[in-house]
């Protein structure tokens, strides 16, 4: 604390990101990155762009990328908003669309950045408890609110809310913005983008950090009707005119356009998730059905924290949350096929 | 306007960045970019990093870059804050350090993003008129305030405030944060970084977009005592954990470390600025002494707007501001030696 701080600074509880250790040779299954590299076309686009006028500002609106996303999802390009990672897109969304008189609603077990955004923009919120099986119940979102946000599939649970249930929440909240945070949707869920044409209150947020394997480049986007996108643009243009650099835009555009590579690498992860789920079950784990690139598990006899520590001793890092309701659970990212095998081998030793 | 907007959105007056036309073969002297490419070492660093695990998140703190800047300026690395362009660093600074009860102060002719940040964070401000010769008078900053910010050299004037005058402002405002926005300092000014050790209330903000020719990559930084940097970190970690991507960090680090290239390219621009200043004077222009990579000029007989239009007809774009006090002035970026020659040739024709 310093007397020079704006009053808000003291009240903040900054987000603590998953550990990014600088050692090599770790099996890093703690931050849900893609275990495979991005499309070779994305890397080629970077190498080409690196020679092209980096001394000039990028396109402030990232029009090429915006069009590629619009084409992919078959929406108009004025329904697309681009940001420096979906975290920035989320931040602008909280400020532009979720700051009203009533508290906003989100699940009690959810992306832990949400309460941080609320503290940054002084937004009241109310956590809505997930069911005992960690599912979102749409009926719980029938109370007065200033907006609703939830990840789908949810994180860290991995559990998907079916599109009909998302629609139920939208139907019962016609006067609230409902944000569906789809960071992990490409690993098995149906995107709410298909609802954008019919609902004037839905905002879908996605990232290129997971399914497109570009976490290192920071690209995220929102899709919604233009009147909502307009609010995001107004805030963005009052904050930073050029959030996306030239290389990130070029690589992201190439990654979106390379559908074949994208589908293949998602499929590999889905297949490995199903295999790993079976093997973990055999080892005595309870596993929440996942449509994400991670599984959320607890063991019938050994404590989560102990397993995490023992895996770490073998240079495998998984995510443990010391939080109510989930303090005996582990979130494990689906690594490469080989990393999944190595995990199972080590778990067998640890649990013997 | 939409009923879903947070109340703040309607009140915003978003910043309008200088035009970024998509045509080629323009002589683009309107947004103060460097006319020369970045250090070849920066480009090599991008090409190398493009092959290295782009699927993993970047270092959230950009430690390598932070250390390179600390080494360059001979400060501790906890005195350095990194952001996605100096615009993002400025935004966080307004929110973290300039939001107090009293209005903040900045010059009436200055970076036009400042009032926009104020509207975004609901900060009161008071504009302080520059002198008749467009200079900042430190005595004008002896009124009660919640903080002070000014570019040095100022933009769009290009005029430098001597370090002793900056010090005067700091001395008469021991209870306010004073932000010195040094986007253009490397083209002839002395940085206020040398004051950071002695003043607990100064924040110096710089960018790699101008002197390091990396506008396309979006990298900016602040240097201040750790208690001020801490406020920026708290806001940043409540907004976006990973503002800088891997390629931007790698390129920026290489650019900071390549001092020889940096000094040579700054020197070329300084030399061309002096030559251009003489030639424009001969052509009947009045020119404010500049230590930036642009000149701010008016012509004795022909209106600025008319000159701008006629240059545009010849595919040369300069910046015209339709604003009180400066509506007969043009801001002209120092291009390559050849672009400067071309500008003079065209001006000779236009003014004949």
Least Cα separation, residue B10 to chain A (angstroms): 8
Alpha carbons B230 and A3: distance in angstroms, whole number: 12
CB proximity A349 to B under 8 Å? no
Which of A50, A85, A90 is most worth mutating to test chain B (most B CB atoms within 10 A of its CB)? A50
Same domain, A204 and A344: no
Query: Do A235 and A278 belong to one domain?
Result: no
Q: H helices of B159-225, where? A: 163-171
Task: Please report which confidence band the pLDDT of residue A1 belongs to, taking 50, 70 and 90 as the band edges.
Answer: confident
Compute the distance between CA of residue A161 and CA of residue A141 in angstroms, rounded to an integer.
13
Helices and strands in chain A, H and E counts: 11, 12
Task: Please indicate if any CB of chain A lies within 8 Å of the CB of B309.
Answer: no
A99 and A236 together in one domain? yes
Question: What is the mean pLDDT, run by run of 10 residues, along chain B of 352 residues?
Answer: 93 86 84 96 97 94 97 98 98 98 97 97 98 97 98 97 98 98 98 98 98 98 98 98 97 98 98 98 97 98 97 95 94 97 97 92
Contact between chains at B217 and A20 (C-beta distance less than 8 A):
no
Q: Do residues B125 and B230 both lie within one domain? A: yes
CA distance A283 to B48: 42
User: Are A61 and A175 contained in the same domain?
Assistant: yes
Among B220, B117, B179, smallest CA distance to A239 is for: B117
pLDDT in tens, A159-189: 999 999 999 999 999 999 999 999 999 999 9
CATH number (domain holding residue B70): 3.40.640.10
Residue A48 lies in a domain: no
Among the partner-chain residues B56, B88, B99, the one whose CB lies closest to the CB of A8 is: B99
- For residue B182, is it within any domain? yes
Question: Is the Cβ–Cβ distance between B222 and B232 less than 8 Å?
Answer: yes
Domain contains B1: no
pLDDT at B288: 97
The alpha carbon torsion through B142, B148, B152, B156 (nearest 10 deg) reads: -100
**DSSP structural state of residue A288:** -
Among residues B224, B258, B292, which one ends one of the domains? B258
pLDDT above 80 for A248: yes
CB contact (8 A) between residue A237 and residue B15: yes
What's the structural domain count of chain B?
2
Contact B57 A227 (CB under 8 A): no
Q: Is A342 helix (H, G, I), strand (E, B) or coil?
A: helix
Residue B141, Ramachandran bin (φ over 0: left; ψ between -120 and 50: alpha; else beta): alpha
Nearest CA in chain B to A213: B55
Contact B87 A239 (CB under 8 A): yes
Residues of B in contact with A20 (CB under 8 A): 56-57, 59-60
Instruction: Assess A343–B contact: CB distance below 8 Å, yes or no.
Output: no
pLDDT for A192-228, tens place per residue?
A: 999 999 999 999 999 999 999 999 999 999 999 999 9
Considering CB atoms only, which of B12, B238, B246 is closest to A217?
Answer: B246
Look at residue A197 in the predicted model and tell me its pLDDT.
98
ipTM of the complex: 0.96
What is the distance in angstroms between the Cα of A129 and the nearest Cα belonging to chain B? 24
Asked whether residue A218 falls in the same domain as residue A323, the answer is no
| Cβ-defined contact of A54 to B2 (cutoff 8 Å) | no
Listed residue (A144, A111, A104) closest to A127, CA to CA = A104
Measured between beta carbons, the chain A residues lying within 8 angstroms of B317 are none
B33 lies in the same domain as B63: no
**Could you tell me if A27 and A167 lie in one domain?**
no
pLDDT over 80 (residue A23): no
Residue A76's domain comprises: 56-257
Q: How far apart are CA B295 and CA B302, in angstroms?
A: 17
pLDDT tens figures, A56-112: 999 999 999 999 999 999 999 999 999 999 999 999 999 999 999 999 999 999 999
Q: Of B239, B258, B277, which marks where a domain is finished?
A: B258
**Is A235 within 8 Å of B5 when comparing Cβ atoms?**
no
CATH number of the domain where residue B16 is located: 3.90.1150.10
Q: Nearest CA of chain A to the CA of B209: how many Å? A: 7
Q: How confident is the model at residue A3 (pLDDT cuts 50, 70, 90)?
A: very high
The rounded distance, in Å, linking the Cα atoms of B252 and B77 is 16
Question: Does A251 contact chain B (CB < 8 Å)?
Answer: yes
Question: Is A24 a residue whose pLDDT tops 80?
Answer: no
Residues 6+ apart with CB under 8 A from A21: A28, A317
Residues of B in contact with A203 (CB under 8 A): none
User: Residue B312 and residue B298: Cα distance in Å, rounded?
Assistant: 17
Q: Are residues B111 and B250 in the same domain?
A: yes
Is residue B275 in some structural domain?
yes
Assess if residue B133 is contained within a domain.
yes
Out of A201, A228, A257, a domain closes at: A257
* B313 within a domain of the structure (yes/no): yes
Locus of tokens 């020719």: B213
- Is the pLDDT reported for residue A18 higher than 90? no
Are residues B62 and B200 part of one domain? yes
CA distance B83 to chain A (A): 11
- Tokens coding B220: 């900016």
CB of A340 within 8 A of CB of A29? Answer: no
Please tell me if residue A207 touches chain B, with a CB cutoff of 8 Å: no
Establish if A209 belongs to a structural domain: yes
Which residues of chain A from 49 to 108 reach within 8 Å of chain B, CB to CB? 50-51, 53-60, 84-85, 87-88, 91, 95-100
Binding-face residues of B in 214-243 toward A, CB within 8 A:
214-218, 227-228, 230-231, 233-235, 237-243
From A210, which residue of chain B is nearest by alpha-carbon distance?
B55
With 80 as the cut, is the pLDDT of residue A20 above it?
Answer: no
Residue B272, in any domain of the structure: yes
Residue of chain B whose Cα is closest to the Cα of A95: B6
Count CB neighbours of B102 within 10 A: 14
Interface mutation target, options B217, B236, B250, B334, chain A, most CBs of A under 10 Å: B217
Q: Cβ of B42 under 8 Å from any chain A Cβ?
A: yes
A184 and A287 in a single domain? The answer is no
Domain check: are B44 and B22 in the same one?
A: no
d(C-alpha B106, C-alpha A250), whole Å: 37
């Amino acid at each position: 604390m310093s007397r020079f701080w704006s009053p808000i600074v003291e009240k903040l509880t900054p987000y603590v990101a998953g550990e990014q250790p600088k050692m090599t040779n770790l099996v890093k299954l703690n931050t849900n990155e893609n275990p495979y590299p991005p499309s070779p076309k994305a890397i080629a686009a970077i190498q080409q762009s690196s020679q092209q006028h980096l001394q000039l500002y990028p396109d402030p609106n990232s029009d090429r990328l915006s069009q590629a996303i619009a084409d992919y999802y078959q929406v108009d390009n004025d329904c697309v908003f681009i940001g420096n990672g979906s975290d920035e897109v989320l931040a602008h969304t909280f400020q532009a669309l979720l700051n009203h008189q009533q508290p906003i609603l989100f699940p009690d077990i959810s992306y832990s950045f949400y309460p941080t955004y609320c503290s940054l923009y002084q937004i009241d919120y109310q956590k809505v408890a997930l069911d005992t099986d960690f599912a979102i119940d749409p009926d719980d979102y029938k109370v007065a609110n200033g907006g609703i946000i939830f990840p789908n599939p949810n994180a860290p649970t991995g559990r998907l809310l079916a599109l009909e249930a998302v629609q139920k929440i939208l139907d019962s909240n016609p006067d609230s913005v409902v944000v569906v945070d789809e960071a992990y949707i490409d690993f098995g869920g149906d995107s709410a983008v298909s609802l954008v044409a019919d609902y004037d209150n839905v905002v879908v947020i996605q990232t290129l950090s997971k399914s497109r394997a570009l976490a290192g480049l920071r690209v995220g986007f929102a899709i919604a009707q233009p009147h909502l996108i307009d609010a995001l643009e107004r805030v963005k243009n009052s904050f930073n005119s050029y959030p996306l650099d030239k290389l990130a835009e070029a690589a992201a555009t190439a990654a979106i356009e390379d559908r074949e590579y994208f589908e293949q690498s998602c499929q590999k992860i889905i297949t490995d998730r199903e295999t790993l789920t079976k093997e973990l079950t055999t080892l005595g784990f309870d596993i929440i059905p996942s449509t994400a690139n991670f599984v959320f598990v607890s063991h019938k006899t050994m404590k989560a924290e102990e397993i995490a520590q023992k895996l770490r001793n073998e240079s495998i890092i998984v995510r443990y949350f010391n939080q109510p309701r989930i303090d005996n659970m582990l979130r494990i990212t689906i690594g490469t096929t080989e990393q999944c095998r190595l995990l199972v081998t080590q778990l067998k030793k640890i649990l013997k």
